[in-house]
Amino acid sequence: MPVLELETSISSVTGSPTSTRPHVNTRMENSTVHAEPPGSTNNTNPALESRVSNQNHSTPSQLPFLRESLRPITLKFEDLAYSINLQSGEDHCFTSHESKRTRTILSGVSGVVRPGELLAMLGPSGSGKTTLLTALGGRLLGKISGSITYNGQPFSSLVKRKIGFVTQDDVLYPHLTVLETLTYAAMLRLPKNLTHEEKVEQAELIITELGLTRCRNSQVGGPLIRGVSGGERKRVSIGQELLVNPSLLLLDEPTSGLDSTTALRLMATLKGLARGGRSVVTTIHQPSSRLYWMFDKVVVLSDGCPIYSGQAGRVMEYLASIGFVPGFNSMNPADFLLDLASGVALGTNPDDHQQYNQGTPDRQEDRDSVKLFLISSYKKTLHPLIKDDIHKNNHDTTRAIGGPQSSRSCENRWTTSWWTQFKVLFKRGLRERRHESYSGLRIFQVMSVSILSGLLWWHSDTSHLQDQVGLLFFFSIFWGFYPLSNAIFTFPQERPMLIRERSSAMYRLSSYYFARIAGDLPMELVLPTIFVTVTYWMGGLKPSLITFVLTVLIILFNVLVSQGLGLALGAILMDLKQATTLSSVIMLVFLLAGGYYIQQIPPFISWLKYISFSHYCYKLLVEVQYSESEVYDCGKGIHCRVSDFPGIEYLGLGHLLWDVAALGVMLVGYRILAYVALRMNKSL
Ligand SMILES: Nc1ncnc2c1ncn2[C@@H]1O[C@H](COP(=O)(O)OP(=O)(O)OP(=O)(O)O)[C@@H](O)[C@H]1O
């Protein structure tokens, strides 16, 4: 291996203690990015920097109400390794003896990012960038070996609050506007000592600083709903994290799906944020050379192993020192790095340019040997130096996050009270779901069924008792199925949002849960009330106000119980297909065991009716509709007691309070079950 003059250049590759001391700006001039990069004197292209500065409309650094809260974080990670259990394993990197049942996703990854620096993680698809970023954000489930420290301390809930994490997919409510999205986030994330107005002002400030003013009142949108552009949506996601003025900002592929100009503007924004005193780490797939020159440091991964970690501006020098030179001088370093990380490097010496330009090696063995060579070169030369760099600067560790002067409220895991969280989540839920709940389609669906059934049962009376009882049974089944099939979607659909927001410690699970349940109530109760009102009077049921009101109350009770079952199924399975299948089986069983279709059920299976809420609902409806002494015309002028009618006799009328109690137990029990299932879900 060629011996490089590593002694002289390595300090700038890894970032020497003196050269990397960041210049921490707590205030930045609006619309400028400081051209002088901290920690590096020669990894930036000044012309480009100044161009970017002019394009950059947003360099948020000063958040008026949070001026005190930016505590710079030096993030150090050393020898990170992460494996997952698999049936077959094939990976290598630094370890030679691996269990056949595990797969190494990361191995021997080290690096440092200091306040003021922008570090990019590069590598081909599947090389482990997201996994590394997730680990740095303290969000990786499973055991990771090595060390990750934040100002010398391990991950903690205090650190968690200082980290902003922007996921690759924008998890946002599509029907909220940009302003609403950021305002609700501000209400949930900003400390309770700020007033409502200050929180709104903070959201407004972020909107201005991220250049979102033009679309502040546009709805965010999503895959199926037209909304703001992809770049604007990404900036909203970043804005949500900036609200808390994070000291460490982690972003997963923030430029994916953006055109090069928008990507450049976004990266300029990130660079501005770094220059404001933050440590910024981003994964990026295929940066243009203009983007590449904005990075202070890069970590390049190949199959989870580093082939480079250090100053972005020194990478070509390092690669040349081990015999890798691009075919032409102006080649984008990022392209060159990605080729190498994929094992594509025919030009392994400067005389090989022609070969490099003409094509890529197709043989897997060639690619593997290039990767192995790069990994082992890194291991021999750069890795020890980076470790030195990590240890040399341990005085960073003295600046503990939330040090002695931190207030008591800082130590509290939650920034807002339970009640505030409940209120904000309740309002946000109503706002987001107003379209869904009061959608014309849903109202049309319910109204058309109610009018149709009113017409079908038009002025039925006890002379057609079978029909009338059928209407009551239909009430219990329709208002069992309908809320159930709506409620099973709730938690599986909300899961990504819950994961994202709970990872940022925005709110307690209980406040979310109660807000969600309470938020669903108005709609869940309004539609059945209208339905029953229409069908009851059209269908000729007992013209008594008390009976009518009791009928409505029983149906609403039934709705709440069936909604609870739907919530529980959704929370337990967290999978729409499975939950839908199971709910249809359950409802079919309840339908059959309800007592309307079949009365001679064998004793060994007749207990099914006792677990069916539709059975209790149907029974209660019959009980309030007909008095004990009521008779009906059972043919040829003969009058029979209603309670002797086969479909009613089977129900065994009486025990009204027990029926109410059974529904009450289900009402509470299903909801407790749903909550416990959510609590036990490790990802939430
Ligand atoms: N829980 C898991 N189960 C199975 N494989 C996993 C798991 N987590 C990560 N991997 C695998 O680890 C590798 C690294 O994944 P990761 O998402 O970190 O890559 P990446 O570099 O971010 O890829 P991309 O650029 O395509 O997003 C991939 O091959 C992925 O399939």
Three-state SS for 320-369 is: HHCCCCCCCCCCCHHHHHHHHHCCCCCCCCHHHHHHHHHCCCCCHHHHHH
Residue 371 maps to which CATH number? 3.40.50.300
| For the CA of 252, the nearest atom of ligand 1 | 22
How far CA 375 is from CA of 48, 79, 249, 383, 426, in Å, comes to 32, 14, 28, 10, 52
Domain membership flag for residue 404:
no
Residue position matching structure tokens 């700006």 = 25
d(CA 428, CA 368): 52
- Answer whether residue 134 is part of any domain: no
With beta carbons less than 8 A apart as the criterion, state whether 267 and 251 touch: no
Q: Are residues 430 and 495 in the same domain?
A: yes
- The angle subtended at Cα 291 by Cα 290 and Cα 293, nearest 5°, is 70
What is the per-residue pLDDT for 600? 78
Same domain, 337 and 452: no
**pTM of full prediction above 0.90:** no
Whether 447 and 554 map to the same domain: the answer is: yes
Q: Residue 638 has what pLDDT?
A: 80
| Count of domains observed in the chain | 3
Give the model confidence (pLDDT) of 110-120 as tens digits.
999 999 999 99
Q: What distance in angstroms lies between residue 385's CA and the mean position of ligand 1's atoms?
A: 28
How far is the C-alpha of 396 from the C-alpha of 383, rounded, in Å? 20
- Tell me, yes or no, whether 190 and 158 share the same domain: no
Tell me which residue of 268, 242, 241, 263 sits closest to 253, measured CA to CA. 263
Task: Decide if 385 is inside a domain.
Answer: yes
- 156 and 185, same structural domain? no
Measured in Å, residue 684 CA sits from the centre of ligand 1 at: 20
CA of 132 to the centre of ligand 1 (A): 10
Q: Whose CA is nearest to atom 5 of ligand 1?
A: 84
My answer on whether 547 and 676 are in the same domain is yes
- 119 forms beta bridges with 281, 297
Mutate to test the pocket of ligand 1, among 83, 125, 127, 302 (most ligand atoms within 8 A of CB): 127
Only one residue has tokens 């996050």, namely 401
Centroid of ligand 1 to alpha carbon of 347 (angstroms): 29
Residues 112 and 200 in one domain: no
**Residues 219/176, Cβ–Cβ less than 8 Å:** yes
Pair 361, 439 in one domain: no
Residue with the two structure tokens 């081909």: 124
**Ranges of residues in the chain whose predicted pLDDT is under 50:** 1-62, 67-68, 88-91, 94-99, 348-359, 397-411
Same domain, 41 and 84: yes
Q: Which atom of ligand 1 is nearest to the CA of 128?
A: 18
Identify whether residues 324 and 181 lie together within a single domain. Answer: no
Spell out the residues 6+ positions from residue 483 whose beta carbon is closer than 8 angstroms to its own: 524, 528, 559, 560, 562, 563, 566
Strand partners, 75: 113, 150
Tokens of 392: 């040399």
569 belongs to a structural domain: yes
Residue 351's CB is within 10 A of a number of other CB atoms, namely 9
Residue 471 is assigned to a structural domain of this protein: yes
Q: Which amino acid is at 73?
A: I
**Is 444 exposed, middle or buried, given 0-12, 13-18 or 19+ CB atoms closer than 10 A?**
exposed
* Domain-terminating residue out of 186, 221, 246: 246
Atom of ligand 1 nearest to the CA of 86: 4
CB-neighbour burial class of residue 411 (10 A; exposed 0-12, middle 13-18, buried 19+): exposed
Indicate the length of the chain as a whole number: 684
Tell me what ipTM this predicted complex has. Answer: 0.95
Q: Report if residue 130 sits inside a domain.
A: no
Q: In the structure, which protein residues have their CB atom closer than 6 angstroms to any atom of ligand 1?
A: 84, 105, 123, 125-131, 285
What distance in angstroms lies between residue 85's CA and the mean position of ligand 1's atoms? 13
Q: Which residue CA neighbors atom 2 of ligand 1 most closely?
A: 84
**Predicted pLDDT of residue 323:** 85
Structural domain span for residue 191: 176-229+236-246
Residue 505: what pLDDT? 84
Residues 439 and 556 in one domain: yes
Tell me if 662 is assigned to some domain: yes
Cα(105)–Cα(61) distance, integer angstroms = 35
Residues 271 and 203 in one domain: no
375 located within any domain: yes
